[in-house]
Amino acid sequence: MVRNPRYDILFEPVRIGPVTARNRFYAVPHAAGMTNSMPHMRAKFRETKAEGGWGVVCTGYVSIHPSSDDAPLPFATLWDEDDVRSHALVSEAVHRHGALAGIELWHGGGSVMNRASRTAPLSPSGTSWMATHVNFMGNQRPRAMDAHDIAALLRWQAEAARRARRAGFDIVYVYAGMGYLPYEFLLPEWNQRTDAYGGSLRNRVRIVRELLEVTREAVGERCAVALRISLEELRARPSEVAPSEAHELVGLLADLPDLWDVKLDSSPTDCAPSRFSPEGSHEPIVEFVKKLTRRPVVGVGRFTSPDAMVGQIRRGVLDLIGAARPSIADPFLPRKIDEGREQDIRECIGCNICISSWHDSVPVRCTQNPTIGEEWRRGWHPERIPPAGSTSSILVVGAGPAGLECALSLGRRGYEVSVAEAADEIGGRLRFETRLPGLAAWGRVLDWRRAQLERLPNVSIYRGNRLTAEEILELGNTHVVIATGARWARLLYSALEIPAGRLEGPGIFTPDDVAEGARIEGPVAVYDFDNYYMGSVLAEHLARSGQRVAYVTPAGHASAWAIMSNEQPQIHRALFSAGVALHTLSRVTAFAPGELTLTGQFTDTTTRIPCRSLVIVGARFASDALHQSLAAQPEELTAAGIRSVSRIGDALAPGAIVHAVYSGHRYARELDADPATLGFRRDAPLARHTTPAAASRAARGDLERLT
List residues with catalytic annotation.
180
Q: Give the separation between CA 607 and CA 609, rounded to whole angstroms.
A: 7
Radius of gyration of the chain (CA): 27
Distance from chain centroid for Cα 508: 35
Residue among 96, 70, 280 at smallest CA distance from 175: 70
Q: Give the separation between CA 91 and CA 172, rounded to whole angstroms.
A: 12
Q: Give the separation between CA 479 and CA 468, rounded to whole angstroms.
A: 16
Tell me the C-alpha to C-alpha distance, in Å, between residue 75 and each of 65, 119, 184, 364, 585.
12, 17, 20, 13, 33
Q: Give the separation between CA 674 and CA 676, rounded to whole angstroms.
A: 5
Tell me the one-letter amino acid at 561. W
Helix or strand holding residue 215 (H, E): helix 206-219
Terminal C-alpha separation, the chain: 63
> Cβ–Cβ contacts within 10 Å for residue 382, how many?
23
> Cβ–Cβ contacts within 10 Å for residue 237, how many?
14
Q: Give the separation between CA 161 and CA 214, rounded to whole angstroms.
A: 9
3-state secondary structure of 487: strand
What residue spans of 500-643 are helical by DSSP H?
A: 511-515, 533-544, 568-577, 625-631, 634-639
Residue among 624, 633, 595, 627 at smallest CA distance from 611: 595
Q: What is the dihedral of CA 61, 63, 67, 71, to 10 degrees?
A: 60
Q: What is the dihedral of CA 287, 292, 295, 301, to 10 degrees?
A: -10
CB 290 within 8 A of CB 308: no
Q: Please compute, for residue 143, the number of CA atoms within 13 A of its CA located in the half-sphere on the CB side.
A: 12
Between β-strands 393-397 and 479-482, what pairing exists: parallel, antiparallel or unpaired? parallel
Strand-pair partners of 595? 592, 610
3-state secondary structure of 174: strand
Q: Give the separation between CA 408 and CA 241, rounded to whole angstroms.
A: 58
Q: What is the largest CA-CA distance in the chain?
A: 86
Tell me the one-letter amino acid at 5. P
* Three-state secondary structure of 601-660: CCCCCEEEEEECEEEEECCEEECCHHHHHHHCCHHHHHHCCCCEEEECHHHCCCCCHHHH
Categorise residue 398: left if φ over 0, alpha if ψ from -120 to 50, beta otherwise: left
Q: Give the separation between CA 173 and CA 161, rounded to whole angstroms.
A: 8
